[in-house]
Every structure is written in C-alpha cells, then in structure tokens.
Chain A
Amino acid sequence: MTGGHSLSDASLTLPSLEQCIRVLTLEDYNTRVVVLGVMALGAAAGLIGTFLLLRKRALTADALSHATLPGIAIAFMVMVAMGGEGKSLVGLLIGAFVFGCIGILLILAIRHTTRLKDDAAIGIVLSVLFGLGLCLLRIASEFPSGSASGLGGFIFGKAASMVASDALVMAGVAVVVLVATCMLCKELTLLCFDEEFSSVQGWSVLLLDIVLMSLVTVVTVVALQSVGLVLAVAMLIIPAASAKYWTRRITSMLIAAAIIGCLSGWLGAVVSALVPRMPTGPIIVLLCGFWFVISFIFGSNDGLLVRQFLRWSLNKRIARQHILRAVWEVCEQHTDSEFGVHEVVRLRSWHTRTVKRLLRKSVAKGYVARKSPTTWRMTEKGRVEARRVARNHRLWEIYLINYADIAPTHVDRDADMIEHVLGPELVEKLEKLLVAGDEPKSPHPIGASG
C-alpha cells in the first residue's frame, strides 16, 4: 500500500513532434497494422451496428460478446489437442463464433419457453457463459503444451499484439459487411422498421434476423482482439447512435456511422501508440463516447443545440406575434394607428421594459415606427401582419369555444399557444368553417374583415 501520491502524479508524458509524425505517417510496421486493422473494424461495426441499433437489439450483442469466451478457450484446447500451438487466430475466432451463436440460441430459448423476458435472458446468458469462459481459461493455462497466456487478452483487447494477417482478417470482414449491407440495405431497413409488413410482403423475417445477427457475431468476434469482449458492443452501437443525430436517412446514417467508427479507431490507435501505458481498446471506446457527446449536443438533426435553437426561434416568433396583436387591439380602440406604450402595458399587463424591447424588435422588422418619445405608429406592413395574426387568434378562439368546449375565460391562453403552429391551409379551412356559418361570439370582436 503506497501513500503520498495524488492524481497529479498520474501525469501524461506528452509525445514529441517526431514521434507524432512517425505514428501519423504509419512508418512503424506495428502501428500500421494496428491502425488499419481498427479502422476496418470501426467501419464494419458502424455499418452493421446501425441495423443492430434500429432493430433494438443492442444488449443482445453484449451477451453475444461475453458468450464467446468459452468458445475461445475450447478452440484453444482443441487446437492444442490436435497438436498445434493453439495460437491460430482464425481457429480461435471460429470457436468464438460458434459460442456466440449458441449464446443467441440460448437467449431465444429462454425467452420462448419461460416467463422470463429479454433482459433476464440476456443477463443470464451473458454472465453464466462468461463465468464458464473464465473457468475454462484458467484450466487452459495449465495445459502442458501450447501457450494460453494470450487468451486473456481477448477480454480487454490486445490490439498492440496484432500482426499483418490479423489486420487482413479484419479488412476481409469489413469488406464482407460492406457488401452485405449494400446488397441487403432495403431488406434490413424494412425488417427494422416494420416487421409485420415485411412478413406479409413475403420476406422471411427469420432469415433476415439470422443474417443480421450472423453479421453482428462476425464483427463482434473480430472486435475481440482490438477492444476486447467487454467493450465490443460499444463499437457496434456508439457510432450508430451518434450518426442518428446528424441525418434523417438510412443511407447517410450508415455512412456516418462507418466514418465515426473508422475515425475513432484511427485516433484511438494513434493515441495509444503515442502515449505510454494507454490501452488501445478503452481509448477507442472513450473516443467513440466523445463523438457521441458531440453529436448529442451539436448534431444537426435533433441535436440538443438544434432543438434549443428551434425552440428559441419559435419563442421569438411567438413574442413578435404577441406584441403585434396587442398593438392591433390597442389601435382598434381608437381609430388611428398611433398608440402609447402605456396602453399596451395596460392591455397585457407586461413589464414596460418588455414592451419597449419587443417594440424595438418590431421596429427592426419594419412593423412599427417611432413617432415621438411617447407615441408609436404601426406601419402599413405592420397593419397587414397584425391583422393576419389577430384574425388567426380569434378564429382559434371561436373554434375552441364552439367545437372543443373550452370555457371562454380560458380560451385566450390556449389560442395563444396553438395559433402559432397554424399553417395557411388550416386557417383557410377555419375561416370557411366559422365565418360562413353562425356568426361567432368571440370574446374579442373580429376587426375589419380582410
């Protein structure tokens, strides 16, 4: 037990410029292999992860990755028993794949034959098979021949020990996933969006699900080496979840997810190569998380900022319409277009300061002009707009009273909220509906029609 240290001791030794250039230009064989391998993985995982996310099976992939551990151990033992070293990546990955499939089948079996639901089924398979894997790993380490020391690396990833053939395997998988995604894009989209419709149209939902989960299993299995099984699911879903904040179409989402995954892989491998004692897998995942947060906040399609901006501009529009309507109503009470601030304040019981601020904004828009320090005047443009706004508001009031049974005392407030989302076609309909029919008893009389 050591004492006398603090967080600041865990300092980062920053790499020198030379080192950076070496890594970035992929001069090192090792770096080259790792970087290219994880870039391929990131792209493949982003692609198939999009469909996994849309199919709402994210955590099944987590169970899948944990279930591969016994497969790896058994594959090792089999290979050693057959006289080998037990190090062949392909052999280990085949074992992983087989057990991944077993895991999925077990989840389905539990779900279909017991009262337990998805979450419990996934949790059971995940933990029990992982426990089995740990037991088998411990046993494998006692094998007389072969060396099982590298096997534990599949749990947290051991990207640093990748060789060219491994990177080739990953590139191969990426190509397969790319081709499959292109060919089956519309089928998988349909499956994820509307399962029942696709079954009626004649697509075999079972077959498509098998294809999807097989591709997920394959990508998970190759991810084991770089990010390890605990974090494999991150590569599948985080880039895809991030992509959703940038686009509203499937094809763009697929491309965005692939790019984000690829980029995270590249950056993670680079950082890991430059900074000592920085494990590759976790840093890649951390970077994915970073992109997710960026997308969550800044994403152009439904990101937090965009939504806030839309809400803010809506509020601005509402405020603008409020002031115009208030001014209109004030002007109705006298015959001209001149009014004083105090009249508006009295009508609406707003703060004088608020009214003045809104009036200044209306001046900027050209709806209102200042005649003297105390009087203001509506412009022609302002009159037209104000009349339109006031009319919308009153039509809604009438509609709400007559058709939605809202009490007259409450109508003003609701009309306030609804009127701003009226489109022109709906207003037209309302006018035909109400003005032609019984003449309304609006709490506020309708001004000169126009």
Chain B
Amino acid sequence: MPQTRIEEEHSLTSPVSVHDLTVAYHRKPVLWDVDLDIPEGKLIAIIGPNGAGKSTLIKAIMDIIPKVSGRVMIYGKPFKKQRKIVAYIPQRESVDWDFPIDALGVVMMGRYGTVGWCRPLRRRDKEKALDALDRVGMADYANRQISQLSGGQQQRIFLARALSQESTIYFMDEPFASVDAATERAIVQVLADLRSNGKTVIVVHHDLQTVNEYFDHVILLNMRVVAHGPVESVFTQENLKKTYGGRLTLLSEAADRLARQGTKL
C-alpha cells in the first residue's frame, strides 16, 4: 500500500506513529490494522475492555511481542534505533518481587542502557537514581528490600526506574491498578511534571472515571481503534458505547475462526 503524503508528514514529527499494525496471539488476531499518530507532549490514555489489546498495543510498539504486519516509527525512525528515548513501566505482576535486590538497585536498572555492556555504574548514575526515587517520594526506602514494599510503593519504584532513564517517551501499563491514594497522587504529579517538560506519556488505563481528570488525549481501543483524539471531543458516551458495547462480537467471532483455521494474516 503506497504511503500517502499526509502519512509521511506525520511520521517524522510524531513521537509514535503506528501504521496498519496487526498482532496475533496464538494465531488469533488481537489487534487489527491499528493506525495512529500520537501527539507530542501530551498525556495519552488507552482505554478499552479487557482483552481489547491495550497492553498488546504498547508491547507491539516496543517490539516485546512480534507483529504480524505493520510499521512503527518513533520520530520518523524505526523503534530499534530510538530505544534510548523510550522508557517502559510494565505491570507489577510481570516481575517476581522476591528477587534479592533493593529499591535503589531496581531504579539503577534504568541507567543500565546508558552505561553499556560490561561497564560498571558510576556515582553519577547512583545520584540520578536517588534523585528519581526522591521525585516519587521513596527516597527513604532506597535500601529497602523490594519484597517488603507495598503494591503502591513497588509501582512507584517502577516509575522511578523509568524516570532515571531520562527518556522522552514513556509507556506505562496500568500504573494506577490497585494502588493506594498516596501513590496515585504521586504518579499523577509525576505525569504532570513530565508533560510540562514536553515529554509524551502513553498510559494503558483501566479507570474510566479519571480519564477526564488525568489525561489530555484518549485512544479508544477494541481490537481496532474505535476513536482517538482530545479527551473533550472523543471521550463521549457514544464512543464509549461503541468501545464497550459488546456489539463487536462479530469481529471477535471472525477472529476466533481465523485463529482456528490458522490463517496467515
């Protein structure tokens, strides 16, 4: 499919530009032909029902899971060349919290990328890590074993790890899930700071009530993009009904049949 001129323009300036992304899990399409341009310097929420492919979308953008087809550009270049400016905050469940490491150790992992193969970390890296811990209000917990942290505290050190990377684009997977009020406030504060510094933050979000309050842009996703744009215009009852309404069972059924047949997409 030849690229149209409009697409070309967006690709170079947009922090994240997704074209015709299709992702399958066990041969069942989870994301179909997703086409998006993420605006710069905003807080963007990805909203959709369970199984809609929200986490899959950001993981496919970051090349953690393979794509069936499609292209992702970060500021006009492929993701592989732009890793340094992208930071990822995974879900808390993706990690074993019994690991023998303390909070500071986890945050310093954010600096590994800049240090490179086989080299040790320097004092500057430790300072930046401590700084990041401070920003999320966990400076006193630097030497605390991670198994002794509460869920909200764990989330905050994940956030600090990403902050210590000093990136431009941040992907977060359900950072507000099951956290206490203090942590939620801390995260929101950090997000606002990031936005005022011109960073782009893309968040998989589960709580419809807070979308208006926390985010500027929203992407409504249910295997395909239902709608995306500024919260005021896009986050409407009608769009939400389309996304969550369950009228999309037909597409889901087709996806199932494709999976069972083992079609190559």
Contact = CB atoms under 8 A, between A and B. Distances in A.
A194 B94 contact: yes
B99 A192 contact: yes
A193 B99 contact: yes
A247 B101 CA distance: 9
Contacts of A203: 112
A189 B118 contact: no
Interface in A405-442: none
Contact of B88 (A183, A187, A192, A197): A197
Given A186-B121, A193-B95, A250 B86 contact: no
B63 interface: yes
A421 B134 CA distance: 24
A134 B190 CA distance: 62
Contact of B90 (A196, A249, A253): A196
B105 interface: yes
A257 to B, nearest CB: 11
Given A186-B121, A249-B105, A196 B88 contact: yes
A248 B102 CA distance: 8
A190 interface: yes
Interface residue tally on B, bucketed by range: 20 to 34
B185 to A, nearest CB: 12
Interface string A173-216: 00000000001101101101110110111110000000000000
Interface in A391-405: none
Interface in B80-118: 83-84, 86-88, 90, 94-96, 99-102, 105-106, 109, 112-113, 115, 117-118
B62 interface: yes
A199 B118 CA distance: 17
Interface in B171-223: none
B145 interface: yes
A156 B67 CA distance: 47
B83 A201 contact: yes
A247 B118 contact: no
A248 B112 contact: no
B101 A189 contact: yes
B112 A201 contact: yes
Contacts, number: 70
B203 to A, nearest CB: 16
Contacts of B59: 196
A253 B100 contact: yes
Given A186-B112, A247-B100, A249-B101, A197 B90 contact: yes
A295 to B, nearest CB: 13
Nearest to B94: A196
Interface size class of A (residues with CB under 8 A): 20 to 34
A194 B109 contact: yes
B101 A250 contact: yes
Nearest to B58: A200
Interface in A225-249: 244, 247-249
A415 B117 CA distance: 51
Given A200-B83, A202-B83, A190 B109 contact: yes
A54 interface: yes
A183 B119 CA distance: 7
Nearest to A253: B100
Interface in B107-156: 109, 112-113, 115, 117-118, 120-121, 145
A361 B95 CA distance: 44
A189 B161 CA distance: 15
A183 B118 CA distance: 5
B112 A200 contact: no
B6 interface: no
Nearest to A202: B83
A249 B108 CA distance: 14
Nearest to A205: B64
Contacts of B117: 184, 187
Contacts of B106: 193
A249 B102 contact: yes
Nearest to B106: A193
Contact of B145 (A183, A186, A196, A248): A248
B118 A250 contact: no
Given A183-B118, A194-B94, A196-B90, A202 B113 contact: yes
A3 to B, nearest CB: 52
A184 B118 contact: yes
B62 A193 contact: no
B100 A249 contact: yes
A242 to B, nearest CB: 13
Contacts of A199: 62-64
Contacts of A54: 99-100
A279 B26 CA distance: 50
Contacts of A250: 100-101, 105
B63 A193 contact: no
A193 B109 contact: yes
A253 B101 CA distance: 10
Which 9 interchain pairs have the tightest Cβ spacing? A202-B83, A183-B118, A200-B88, A201-B113, A248-B145, A200-B62, A248-B100, A193-B99, A196-B64
Given A187-B112, A249-B100, A253-B100, 7 more contacts: A193-B96, A199-B62, A199-B63, A199-B64, A202-B113, A248-B100, A250-B105
Interface of B: 59, 62-64, 83-84, 86-88, 90, 94-96, 99-102, 105-106, 109, 112-113, 115, 117-118, 120-121, 145, 161, 165
7 contacts: A54-B100, A193-B106, A194-B90, A194-B94, A196-B64, A196-B94, A248-B101
